[in-house]
Amino acid sequence: MSERSTTSHDDASTAKVGPTGDEPLRLGHYRVVATIGSGLFARIYRGIAEPLGRAVVLKVLESTAGPHTISHRRFAREARLLASLRHPNIVELFDYDEGLAGERPPFMVLELVDGPTLKELLERLQRVEPEEAASIALEIARALAHTHRHSVVHRDVKPANVLVGVVDDVRRSNDPGPRTDAPRGATTVAVKLADFGAAKSPPDGASDAAADALARDESEGGGTPAYMAPEQLLGEEVDHRADQFALGIVLYQMIAGVRPFDGDDGRPVVQRVRRDPPKSFRAYGLAVPKDLERIVLRCLAKRPSDRYEDTQDLVNELARLLEGRGDPSGDLGGVHRRVLARAGIVDERRALREEAPRRGHSRTSPLRVRAYPIGPTVLGLALSLVAMAAGGAVIQWRGGAIRRPTEPAPVRAASGPESARLRVLARPWADVSIDGQRVDVTPIGAPVFVRPGRHVVTFAHPAASTQRRVVELKPGEQQTLDVSLDVAVPVYPDEFAPAAPSASVVPAPSTSAGGSGSDGSGASGGSGGSGSMGSPFGVPSTLGTGGAP
């Protein structure tokens, strides 16, 4: 789109300002309605596309300098990425205006998601149920799998860059991702990934000085330290597995209400992320399905080679987990509606009524709870219990006592002077079983109390052959099993430390020392953009100003 064609509608009106003195009333044929947020270099507005009357989001670069500056090129690169990554779980780009030097800044026209960021949602709820967290993570993983297939790494996955809300359902038949039964033009609740300002993309072939400077800027990394993978914190080259690590932190935070590497021990977040294992969900008193905990731990592996080789594999595992628990992974709008309803963002009864037609039911009247007299119900239940007890007594009197099959003695034992203790370590990680009974997934924080005697310990890893060890334990004795599994990846001497560089290689200086605060959030203002280590350009929300988490 040429500069002239975008200004012919109402060039003079773009110079008008609002009551605050710096708020434009119009941008071309888009009328500004309200300010959503602002960052270091961009402002976010809610607007109306005239004469269609369509509600949109306007992301405006706060610079009217020439189009060959680094800020303009980064802004244009983000627009190109969004235009090439059309997916139901990625905020859609409708239009882009490259601006007019000295007069009008460039701006993007983005899809309006009428709902909060995931950060704002967690501030209301603190945490969500494991199945709900898995549903939201599945939608984010679908978006990331799509970007990774296009050789794009987001590098700033965090709750402030995830939107949960109502959108116009304008999907086409050839769009990838989850489908919905809603008619064209209806609304649906979706999870959308936003803010590609810090994304790493393939080179576009340009060779001028500004393009070279942009490439250097891109190679320096971006993102928020509290959500960065260890290799990203070290300033090393990152790939799609860095996004998996960030998604693992987001998924952990949704389940536990805290990030896995938060702490108040005075150490910087960089050190905790690089060296500390995540705390078990059981430490918070949470009952989390083992399959879900295994997915989280694999995403949070310190070494990229221990994460998923393909992000689509992560999508498949989350989908199988939800389908195995009765939740359809193809259309998760109902799950997202219930989360928004519990947060007080949408009306729960209305949400259920709107969701019923999508599931093939018809409901025209409000939901009501029918009252039944409790007396007859209790009496009937009591008579049923008496009849069952009498029947059981008759059976035992006529046929003899019912014998139970002999069960193997339990592997685990209560702590005491007669019990033995077994400490299990595995590199990189393993699913541990003792005498055929599954125990846990490493890292296991405390020794396992077992009965004295001979035990067979099994270590299973999806990328390695199963290993078995036989131990003989005496009463009160403690032994340690330390096993390194033969996975097809480079093995570091320390699981929680990066590999030592060879003598012939001079390590690159780390880019993580700058940080942006003791909490490691590294975020700037309300645009949801990154702090000193990332891009300031972001679309945080369509309801509030939300900053980085």
pLDDT in tens, 239-273: 999 999 999 999 999 999 999 998 887 788 888 89
Q: Is 517 helix (H, G, I), strand (E, B) or coil?
A: coil
Q: Edge-to-edge strand order for the sheet containing 437-441?
A: 437-441, 431-434, 453-461, 464-473
pLDDT tier at 374, thresholds 50, 70, 90: low
Q: pLDDT tens digits for 202-228? A: 765 544 444 444 445 554 456 788 999
The CATH class, in words, for 1-111 is alpha beta
Q: Which pLDDT score, from 0 to 100, does residue 289 have?
A: 93
CA 323 to chain centre: 19
Q: Measured at the alpha carbon of residue 210, what is the angle toward residues 207 and 214, in degrees to the nearest 5?
A: 95
User: How would you label 45-82 residue by residue, b for 16+ Cβ within 10 Å and e otherwise?
Assistant: bbbbbeeeeeebbbbbbebeeeeebebbbbbbbbbebb
pLDDT at 153 over 90: yes
Q: Are 512 and 225 in contact (CB under 8 A)?
A: yes
**If you search the block for the tokens 């500390």, which residue do you land on?**
276
Q: Are 91 and 117 in contact (CB under 8 A)?
A: no
Taking the CB of residue 264, how many other CB atoms lie within 10 A of it? 6
Q: Which of 291-300, 414-423, 514-523 has the highest mean pLDDT?
A: 291-300
More confident position, 336 or 181: 336
Q: Are 97 and 6 in contact (CB under 8 A)?
A: yes
Q: Are 254 and 137 in contact (CB under 8 A)?
A: yes
CA dist 121 and 115 (Å) reads 9
Q: Which CATH number fits domain 420-484: 2.30.280, 1.10.3470, 2.30.30, 2.60.40?
A: 2.60.40
Question: Largest alpha-carbon pair distance within the chain?
Answer: 99
Query: For residue 461, what is the enclosing H or E element?
Result: strand 453-461
Taking the CB of residue 192, how many other CB atoms lie within 10 A of it? 26
More confident position, 348 or 295: 295
Between helix 209-219 and helix 70-84 the angle, nearest 10°, is 70
Q: Are 78 and 201 in contact (CB under 8 A)?
A: no
pLDDT at 46 over 90: yes
Between helix 240-256 and helix 311-324 the angle, nearest 10°, is 30
Between helix 130-149 and helix 311-324 the angle, nearest 10°, is 150
Q: Measured at the alpha carbon of residue 247, what is the angle toward residues 238 and 192, in degrees to the nearest 5?
A: 110
Q: Which pLDDT score, from 0 to 100, does residue 186 have?
A: 47
Domain ranges of the chain: 1-111, 115-364, 420-484
Q: Which pLDDT score, from 0 to 100, does residue 257 have?
A: 95
Q: Which of 32-41, 151-160, 175-184, 263-272 has the highest mean pLDDT?
A: 151-160
Global pTM value: 0.60
Average pLDDT on 524-538 reads: 36
pLDDT at 180 over 90: no
pLDDT tier at 167, thresholds 50, 70, 90: confident
CA dist 78 and 84 (Å) reads 10
**If you search the block for the tokens 């032994």, which residue do you land on?**
479
Q: Are 49 and 83 in contact (CB under 8 A)?
A: no
Between helix 240-256 and helix 130-149 the angle, nearest 10°, is 170
Taking the CB of residue 232, how many other CB atoms lie within 10 A of it? 26
Q: pLDDT tens digits for 445-503? A: 678 888 899 999 999 988 788 889 999 989 888 898 888 888 754 433 444 444 455 44
Q: Which pLDDT score, from 0 to 100, does residue 493 have?
A: 41
The CATH class, in words, for 115-364 is mainly alpha
CA dist 183 and 241 (Å) reads 36
CA dist 58 and 91 (Å) reads 12
Supply 377's token pair.
């119900």
HSE-CB at 238 with a 13 A cutoff on CA atoms is 31
CA dist 74 and 106 (Å) reads 11
Calculate Rg over the CA atoms of the chain: 28
The overall average pLDDT reported for the chain is 74
CA dist 498 and 288 (Å) reads 30
Query: Is omega for the bond preceding 490 within 30 degrees of 0, making it cis?
Result: no
Give the β-pairing of 30-38 and 42-49: antiparallel
pLDDT at 545 over 80: no
DSSP for residue 300: T
pLDDT at 425 over 70: yes
Q: Are 223 and 155 in contact (CB under 8 A)?
A: yes
Average pLDDT on 500-510 reads: 46
